[in-house]
Structure formats: C-alpha cells, structure tokens
Structure 1
Amino acid sequence: MANGFVMNEANRFSSQGFILEDFVGADDTMGTQELIERLNEALGWELRAVNMYAHYAANIQGIHRLQLDPMFNGEATESLAHADVVRRAIVKLGGVPVTERNPHPIVHSTEFKAMLERSLETETKAAEVYANIIQLVEKVGDQEMYDAIEQIYLAELRSLEDLRLILA
C-alpha cells in the first residue's frame, strides 16, 4: 500500500526522534483512537498555520512583500485545505475534530527573516506530525485516507524544502 518514498521519509523522521510514539498493539480500536488523536494534533497545527500565515501576509513590508505576501497567503490557503481533509478523516473514524488551533504562540514580526524562520519551524512540526500519522493510517488500512494524508505529507515536505532554500 505504501509509497516507498513516503515511508522512507516517514522512517527518516522517526529515526531522528520525530515520531511521538510508535503504534503498539494490534487492537483496531486502539489504533483508530491513536490515529484520531494524531489527526486532531495535525488539525490544531493546521488551524494555527492558517492564522500565522495570514498574519504574516498582512504584516510583511518592503520589497519582500512582492514575493512573500503571495507565498504566505498560498500557505494559509493550503493549510485551510489540509485542515478540511484532516477534519473529514477524523469524522470518518468516528472522532470529534478539535475546533481550536494549537496553542503554540504565533510570534509577531515585521521582519521577513523572522517570519520565514517561524514558518520553517511550523512546517518542520507539520512534517513530523504527518510522518507519525502516515504510519498509523497504513496500519489502519484505509487506502483512501492514506492517499489523502500522503498528499498532505508530501506538500509539507515541499514547503519545508522551499523554506530551507529561501533561508539558505
């Protein structure tokens, strides 16, 4: 079922200590509950990302506004779409989606580099959360959900790499 690249990347995050905990036990209920918890964690981070990127798009100034305003708005839109997919997956599994964003503070800045650094931190966290989720979804065995989460995970990896290159 799993795409080799995606599982290799998820395992890479796991080997770096990013996986919060491995799936334990073969009980489907236990696996489903763990998956719902991790999906709710991802949803909280996506809701936070929407707020952060919209805030940065509104506050970016100077010549960097020409490039970063569309980028931040695009990231906010992408996070909103990811939140919708994750929310629907939670409901499909019988869970209740969170309605509040992750409480990690959104740092206000008008400095483009600080905004990009905070964005890199957020995308890194998103990648680690989805690395955990992709492994859990595979164990639950829902191909449709796996494909949807895989697309989100790959988008997070692309955003992470883009930010690394911008900050280089």
Structure 2
Amino acid sequence: MTVSEFQSRCKKSTKTIHSWLRQGYLPGAVQDPATGEWDIPEHTREPYTGTRAKTARAICASMVQAANRRQHIVPALYHLDPSEFEGYIDALVDADLLCRRTVDGVTYYDATLKGQEYASLSGDKLKKLVGECLSTTVVAIVKGCASAVLEAGLGKVI
C-alpha cells in the first residue's frame, strides 16, 4: 500500500509515517530508488511509540501491552540490538505471553490469551507479573549470553 493508504488506515500525518519509515519502524516497507515512493505491506501495523521502557521488566511489559493493542514492535523502538530484542521476545514467547506470526517475510508479535489477560492490568501490576513469569527465563538468557561472550573471548586468546 502507499503512504497515503497507510495514513488513511492509521489516521496519522504523512510526516509521522515518513518518520516511521526512516527509522525502520515499519518492517517490510521498501522504497523505490527511482521514484522515492514507498510500498508498505498490507498487513503492516502502526508501531508502538509509547514511552521507552528502560528496565527489563518495563521493556517486557510494554512489549506485551503493544502486542495486545496490535501495535508493531521492532528493536529500534527500544534502542536495542536485534539479538537482545530477540532475547526479550524469546523470553515472552517461552512465558506464553506472546506468539510470533510471519506474513510475507515480516514477523508480527501477538499477545496470547495469557498476555491479553496480563496486558489489561495496570502498568505496575503488569511489570510485577511479567517479572515473575520471566525471572527464570531471563536468568537463562543472561547465562547463555555470558557463556557465549566468554567462549568468544577465550577463542580469541587461544
């Protein structure tokens, strides 16, 4: 779809949509190098652009809330490295709060029934419950990352 069509659907200004495109908030969108026109996939969702979470619990809680609102989330929205972003997503999938769905090469994140139930809670309650669900998963991710860093470092030394 065109920028105008997407603008009609999400009721945002052309300036906002072009900003989202430049920042990579609309995955799968491609710009024609000759005309400069953008082609936005039909399934594209409005991105989550709420307050940027700073702690792991707040990041996870905002991801669940965004998925529940059917908003798209990408690493750039959280200023995260793609692998770190995927770690959060993996933890939320493992905790049965999110599920992945891929359409035309673009991955979308949907709230599960459990995620929908949690997303209806207030921010502080959601952060607490998400933290409880994720505590063991996050510890495993951190241990795995630390192990990989140590192995990579040891490989360079040897």
TM, length-normalised to structure 1: 0.27
More strand by share: 2
TM, length-normalised to structure 2: 0.28
The higher relative CO (CA closer than 8 Å, separation ≥ 6) is in 1
